[in-house]
């Protein structure tokens, strides 16, 4: 994978007073941000490449008040993860907090390659939606779409449930729980757990008591002249 050096980075932290931070990756693609106050378990952090042709986004949730490492950005990836491993997940509400059209301070940011609203999550063409090892993506009863046909080779509308080492170095899988619909424009890579929740549908109304259903064959009547 090619290292993207010297890229501008933007991070938004969902503390009581949202923090907005910017920095630039060094020549090896490494970046860091310090001076974050109010960090605690469950606080969301969104990081992306800002004001550049290259697109990459990562969303995570803090598990402690200490620093977080390995918040990696990969070109054309939308990465969902969380630093804790129990009783936490990434629902639609978490994503809609910081997306392309309305999140990140209610104005959105066009450098973010997806939208997440009350009834749909939509990842633009040429990207991969990636659930990191040890993480649980739970979009609930919405439609999740990864668009394809970007007319480019490589990543295009893909969805991946990753396995590997989670944040503490323990081998783990990822989990996907869906209560709505899923449309994948590219490839689905899954060696982890997927749970599909059936959507309740109303039962057909019973026929009223006076109604009858005929199963008799049709008869052709001939009239004599």
pLDDT tens profile 68-104 = 888 999 999 999 998 887 667 888 888 888 999 876 7
Give the C-alpha separation, 165 to 146, whole Å.
25
- The reported pLDDT for the residue numbered 201 is 55
Residue 211, pLDDT above cutoff 50: no
- The reported pLDDT for the residue numbered 77 is 96
Give the C-alpha separation, 199 to 70, whole Å.
37
- The reported pLDDT for the residue numbered 50 is 94
Give the C-alpha separation, 140 to 96, whole Å.
13
Candidate ranges 41-45, 112-116, 219-223; pick with highest mean pLDDT: 112-116
- The reported pLDDT for the residue numbered 205 is 58
Give the C-alpha separation, 221 to 214, whole Å.
18
How much is the average pLDDT of 44-50?
94
- The reported pLDDT for the residue numbered 213 is 41
* Helix extents (H) in the chain: 92-96
Q: Please measure the distance between the N-terminal and C-terminal CA atoms of the chain and give it in whole angstroms.
A: 90
pLDDT band at 193 (very low <50, low <70, confident <90, very high): low
How much is the average pLDDT of 158-162?
95
Residue 199, pLDDT above cutoff 60: no
Name the token pair of 134: 């040890």
- The reported pLDDT for the residue numbered 14 is 86
Residue 103's nearest CA partner among 36, 14, 169, 180 is 14
Give the C-alpha separation, 5 to 34, whole Å.
20
Residue 214, pLDDT above cutoff 60: no
Average pLDDT over the chain, rounded to an integer? 83
Give the C-alpha separation, 66 to 84, whole Å.
13
Q: Report yes or no on whether pTM surpasses 0.85.
A: no
φ, ψ of residue 213 to 5 degrees: the values are: -120, 125
Give the C-alpha separation, 99 to 95, whole Å.
7
- The reported pLDDT for the residue numbered 190 is 86
- The reported pLDDT for the residue numbered 73 is 94
Contact 92, 81 (CB under 8 A): no
Task: List b or e across 79-93, with b for residues whose CB sees 16 or more CB atoms inside 10 angstroms.
Answer: bbbbbbeeebbbebe
Task: List the domain boundaries for the chain.
Answer: 8-29+38-196
């Amino acid at each position: 994978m090619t290292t993207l050096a010297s890229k501008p980075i933007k991070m938004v932290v969902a503390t009581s007073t949202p923090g907005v931070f910017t920095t630039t990756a060094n020549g090896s693609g490494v970046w860091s941000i310090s001076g974050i106050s109010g960090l605690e378990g469950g606080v969301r952090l969104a990081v992306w490449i800002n004001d550049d042709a290259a697109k990459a986004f990562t969303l995570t949730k803090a598990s402690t008040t200490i620093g977080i490492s390995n918040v990696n950005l990969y070109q054309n990836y939308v990465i969902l993860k969380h630093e804790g491993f129990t009783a936490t997940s990434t629902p639609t509400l978490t994503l809609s907090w910081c997306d392309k059209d309305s999140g990140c301070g209610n104005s959105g940011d066009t450098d973010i390659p997806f939208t997440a609203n009350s009834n749909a999550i939509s990842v633009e063409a040429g990207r991969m939606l990636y659930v990191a090892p040890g993480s649980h993506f739970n979009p609930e009863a919405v439609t999740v779409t990864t668009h394809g046909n970007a007319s480019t080779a490589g990543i295009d509308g893909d969805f991946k449930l990753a396995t590997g080492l989670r944040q503490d170095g323990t081998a783990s899988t990822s989990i996907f729980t869906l209560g709505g619909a899923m449309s994948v424009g590219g490839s689905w890579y899954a060696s982890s757990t997927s749970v599909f929740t059936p959507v309740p549908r109303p039962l057909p109304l019973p026929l009223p008591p006076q109604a009858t259903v005929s199963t008799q064959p049709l008869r052709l009547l001939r009239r004599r002249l």
